[in-house]
């Protein structure tokens, strides 16, 4: 169906509505990514975690077809800082402002606080995808000009979107994460059988030591209660305060997550003698388990690995998921079966001088990142040689 030649801007995802938004976010090859679902984005806004006050002012885009129905959408935010993004542009901001420019505010298409690859230019299944994407991208760049902002970033798009945006003139950036891939394993022991003997022994020992004297529960759906969220929020606040200074998510966010997305939540908790001591939060996608947050109030050797990595692998195998994405950073994940995997971002920079400098930087950075990925996979892979 033809599209109207206009793009509207919305200050709340609720202005677009669940049915209209999810019709665009539910294309089959988007693999039911929870981080671009209406509920996740609305929960972030309703809880106050995403708002102009926190530096995440929604500017969501919508394109309509000739019948007036929403045909394509993009989660877009006016940012007054670069926190909670996991694609780091602080050096660009510093250099530009030292040269007399104004880097903030900027526009960002992303899933808030989530270093998770997924679609960012969401097009309804019956609409020509390239046309919808092009209109969303053009609308975002036009908004840059109208709001006099310095940059548009698109963080963690799919590789297909990334290449499309490169063809549209966006600057392309590549980074890496560590993902576990399911080679049709029948069980966790089957997965261990694919590893070198040294790694098998180490992982078995780590799991044994981590679980000694503990009860570990994997909770989802109706099993989740406010008691569990109270415990997890304590863990989250402790870890967030130490890592970031100010955690991004508030207590209401987790209650709303439990109310509206319980079937897409996997909360793995550990307790000793009836007292919760640690937990890891995951969201469940169509073909992937996404590890998001972790925390603890008691140090137990290897418990982080058990709750965040091994329990996630075991759950993914048991439920037939293709992979586990365990979040940003962490070369220690390689030894646990999570191998280097490319992740992407794309950037429009309004100032030609800054754009030229960043383009040179990104060209060199892409080569370095790819080289490091190849080296890490070859030198440190825990898997047996074929």
Residue 246 has pLDDT above 90, yes or no: no
DSSP count for the chain of H helices, then E strands? 12, 15
- For residue 365, tell me if it sits in a domain: yes
Residues 171 and 69 both lie in one domain: yes
b/e burial code for range 77-107 (CB count within 10 A of at least 16 → b): bbbeebbbbbbebeebbeebeeeeeebbbbb
Residues 153 and 190 both lie in one domain: no
Residues 166 and 24 both lie in one domain: yes
- For residue 330, tell me if it sits in a domain: no
Residues 152 and 248 both lie in one domain: no
Confidence category of residue 244, pLDDT binned at 50, 70, 90: low
Residues 48 and 118 both lie in one domain: yes
Q: What is the pLDDT of residue 15?
A: 98
- For residue 222, tell me if it sits in a domain: yes
Residues 279 and 314 both lie in one domain: yes
Residues 107 and 142 both lie in one domain: yes
| 205-221: pLDDT as tens digits | 999 999 999 999 999 99
Q: What is the pLDDT of residue 28?
A: 79
Q: What is the pLDDT of residue 385?
A: 80
Residue 341's Cβ-count burial label (10 Å; 0-12, 13-18, 19+) is: middle
Residues 69 and 204 both lie in one domain: no
Residues 162 and 257 both lie in one domain: no
Residues 97 and 72 both lie in one domain: yes
**CA quadruple 346, 352, 356, 361: dihedral, nearest 10:** -50
| 97-127: pLDDT as tens digits | 999 999 999 999 999 999 999 999 999 999 9
pLDDT, averaged across the chain: 95
Confidence category of residue 9, pLDDT binned at 50, 70, 90: very high
Q: Write down the pTM of the prediction.
A: 0.96
Residue 221's Cβ-count burial label (10 Å; 0-12, 13-18, 19+) is: exposed
Residues 256 and 362 both lie in one domain: no
| 144-199: pLDDT as tens digits | 999 999 999 999 999 999 999 999 999 999 999 999 999 999 999 999 999 999 99
Q: What is the CATH number of the domain that holds 200?
A: 3.40.630.30
| 269-301: pLDDT as tens digits | 999 999 999 999 999 999 999 999 999 999 999
Taking a C-beta distance cutoff of 8 angstroms, is the pair 106, 57 a contact?
no
- For residue 260, tell me if it sits in a domain: yes
Query: How many domains are contained in the chain?
Result: 2
- For residue 374, tell me if it sits in a domain: yes
Segment 43-57 mean pLDDT: 98
**Distance between CA atoms of residues 386 and 375, nearest Å:** 17
Write out the residue range of the structural domain in which residue 311 sits.
Answer: 183-321
């Amino acid at each position: 169906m033809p599209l109207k030649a206009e793009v509207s801007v919305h200050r709340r995802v609720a202005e677009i509505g669940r049915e209209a938004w999810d019709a665009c976010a539910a294309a089959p090859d988007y693999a039911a990514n929870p981080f671009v679902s209406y509920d996740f984005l609305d929960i972030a806004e309703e809880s106050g975690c995403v708002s102009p006050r926190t530096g995440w002012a929604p500017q969501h885009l919508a394109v309509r077809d000739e019948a007036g129905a929403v045909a394509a959408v993009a989660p877009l935010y006016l940012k007054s800082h670069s926190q909670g993004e996991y694609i780091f542009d602080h050096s660009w901001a510093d250099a530009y402002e030292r040269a007399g420019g104004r880097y903030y505010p900027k526009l960002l298409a992303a899933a808030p606080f989530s270093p998770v690859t997924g679609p960012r230019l969401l097009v309804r299944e019956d609409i020509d995808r390239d046309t919808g994407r092009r209109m969303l991208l053009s609308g975002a760049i036009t908004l840059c000009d109208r709001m006099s902002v310095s940059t548009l970033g698109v963080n963690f798009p799919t590789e297909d979107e990334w290449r499309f945006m490169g063809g549209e003139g966006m600057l392309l950036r590549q980074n890496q994460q560590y993902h576990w891939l399911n080679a049709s394993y029948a069980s966790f022991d089957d997965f261990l059988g694919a590893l070198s003997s040294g790694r098998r022994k180490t992982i078995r020992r780590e799991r044994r030591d981590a679980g000694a004297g503990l009860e570990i529960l994997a909770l989802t759906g109706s099993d989740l209660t406010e008691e569990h969220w109270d415990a997890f929020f304590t863990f989250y606040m402790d870890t967030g305060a130490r890592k970031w200074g100010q955690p991004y998510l508030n207590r209401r966010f987790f209650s709303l997550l439990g109310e509206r997305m319980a079937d897409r939540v996997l909360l793995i908790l550990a307790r000793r003698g009836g007292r919760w001591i640690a937990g890891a939060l995951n969201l469940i996608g169509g073909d992937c388990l996404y590890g998001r947050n972790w925390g603890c109030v008691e140090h137990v050797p290897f418990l982080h690995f058990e709750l965040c990595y091994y329990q996630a692998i075991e759950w993914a195998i048991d439920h037939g998921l293709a992979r586990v994405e365990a979040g940003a950073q962490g070369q220690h994940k390689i030894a646990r079966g999570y191998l280097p995997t490319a992740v992407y971002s794309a950037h429009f920079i309004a100032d030609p001088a800054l754009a030229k400098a960043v383009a040179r930087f990104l060209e060199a950075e892409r080569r370095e990142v790819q080289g490091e990925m190849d080296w890490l996979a070859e030198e440190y892979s825990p898997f047996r040689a074929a």
